[in-house]
Amino acid sequence: MDSIRAVLSPDEIIEPSSPDYAKESQVWSAHKDLHPQLVARPQTVESLSKLLKTLNDTEIDFNIRCGGCGSASSRGVLISMSAFDGFEFNKEEEYVVVGAGQLWRHVDAKVEEFAPGYSVVGARCTYVGVGGGTLQGGVSWMSSELGLSSDPQNMLDAQVVLMDGSVLWASSDSELLWALRGGGGRFGVVTAFKLRAHKYPQKVYSGMILYPREALDELAKKVPKFAAENTDPKVAMHFYCLDMTNGAFVGKPSVPGLGLLVYDAHGEEHGRNEAFKWALEIPGATDTTAGMSYRQVNQLNDMLEAVRGQTNQMMTAVVIPTVTEDLIRRTWKWFDETLLLEPKLNAGTFVLIEIMQKEAFQTVGSRTATGWPRPKGRHILQLGTGALNGCTPEVHSLAVERLAAGAHEICDKYSGGDCLPRDFEEFHDPVEMFGENVEKLREVKKRVDPKNRLRGAYEL
């Protein structure tokens, strides 16, 4: 550790006794906290370069933390990227350069202030990290129209520091840039992204419509109808099975219910009177929708950040081809039965079906066009389980078991190759996720990180 401290300035070193230690090392899922011996927070590319070069010649365990909803940790050194927070807007060429250590809330605010009339294909929750979210695919409200964050038309370039300390823009190494587009962050440490800025509506209709469980029959029919008939890429929707009271956090039993998070970039009048009139008219609906800015839409889920570090939550997300009545009913059955089996899992159990257009995953031409071979599906089935931090091993094991079983119980046909490469729980198989691209990803990895020091959350 002395060799690590020697290449950093005192204000780049955060010891466990420091008041900044918790903020710079906190994980999303509490059980993944490895309590690092040291947090390094390099403030310049040069400092990061020296640090990585030094780490490359040691056997010290280390990991890279962007600060979003991942759970990167280390028993040795944790490198916090939070100082890489720059922002530049080139209006003539319509792109932004953003520091990779930010959360999307920071970028959303800067785009709104310095690039009015534009938006960036980022994330739909402001607490997602720019680095982790982009390198692992990146799904946005804009994705139904413009593809994923990591697509070549959106992620134009990335500044990378390699383990030997060299610094380059990935466009100078086409295979490295290919690997970074959805192949994860195991090839180098990204400090900045060059992203396309798109002209986009600035007034959007969005918000939650909540329903009691008695609305399941009608929603099971009307949600698939919407998914099949909606062809407008500026209109999207999420279907939720969720605990209406957040009972785990207030010491009360769960009240399982249903919700729709609606989105219409044409504005409130179109959303209320055309796109989602049917949803507002379902008996028992509680309407919290309104007209708002694109940034405000992404802020709608900010309340969920309160669980950061409080639960043992795990997640999996599977790309599915269609949404049917039977699938909706199976999602509810899995959700309801999970909470009946163990009420303590109400702290982290949910179902989310993200209803999208095929353009979200099919804008890159072929499965080998980017590091992540895109599944052929259209929508996303996202599942979560978990209990409050400190739960018994038996409760945690049940959470793992129910999450691993979820996609098998819900989907007509399930393959690990349809999973998004952002959740790496013990039952996920990265080789299956990356399919025919695995060998090329390994070749890039061996060339840019021959000692395999950037182990990350998974191994190919």
Sorted by where each begins, the domain ranges of the chain are 2-80, 87-200, 204-292+309-431
* Res 124 pLDDT > 90: yes
Per the DSSP assignment, residues forming a β-bridge with 13 are 40
How much is the average pLDDT of 255-272? 96
Domains 2-80 and 87-200 share a fold: no
* Res 306 pLDDT > 90: no
Query: Tokens standing for 341?
Result: 């089996």
- CA atoms within 13 A of residue 318's CA, in its CB half-sphere: 27
**pLDDT for the residue 455:** 85
- Of the listed ranges 42-46, 101-105, 173-177, 247-251, the least confidently predicted one is 247-251
**pLDDT for the residue 70:** 87
- CA atoms within 13 A of residue 371's CA, in its CB half-sphere: 29
* Res 446 pLDDT > 90: yes
Share of the chain above pLDDT 70, in %: 99
Query: Using 50, 70 and 90 to split pLDDT, how confident is the model at 247?
Result: low
Q: CATH topology for 87-200?
A: 3.30.465
- Tell me the backbone φ, ψ of residue 293, rounded to 5 degrees: -80, 165
CA distance 199 to 217: 40
Q: Pick from 228, 356, 208, 352: which is nearest to 292 by CA?
A: 208
* Res 345 pLDDT > 80: yes
CA distance 213 to 333: 12
How much is the average pLDDT of 298-312? 92
- Tell me the backbone φ, ψ of residue 251, rounded to 5 degrees: 70, 30
CATH of 2-80, one of 3.30.43.10, 3.40.50.970, 3.40.50.620, 3.60.10.10: 3.30.43.10
* Res 245 pLDDT > 80: no
Q: Are strands 77-80 and 62-65 parallel, antiparallel or unpaired?
A: parallel
Q: CATH topology for 204-292+309-431?
A: Vanillyl-alcohol Oxidase; Chain A, domain 3 (3.40.462)
Helices 216-229, 325-341: inter-axial angle, 10-degree rounding: 140
**pLDDT for the residue 250:** 64
**pLDDT for the residue 456:** 76
- Of the listed ranges 94-103, 200-209, 238-247, 350-359, the least confidently predicted one is 238-247
CA distance 119 to 64: 27
Q: Are 211 and 284 in contact (CB under 8 A)?
A: yes
Query: Tokens standing for 259?
Result: 């919700």
Rounded to 5, what percent of the chain is helix, strand, coil?
35, 20, 40
- Mean of the per-residue pLDDT values of the chain: 95
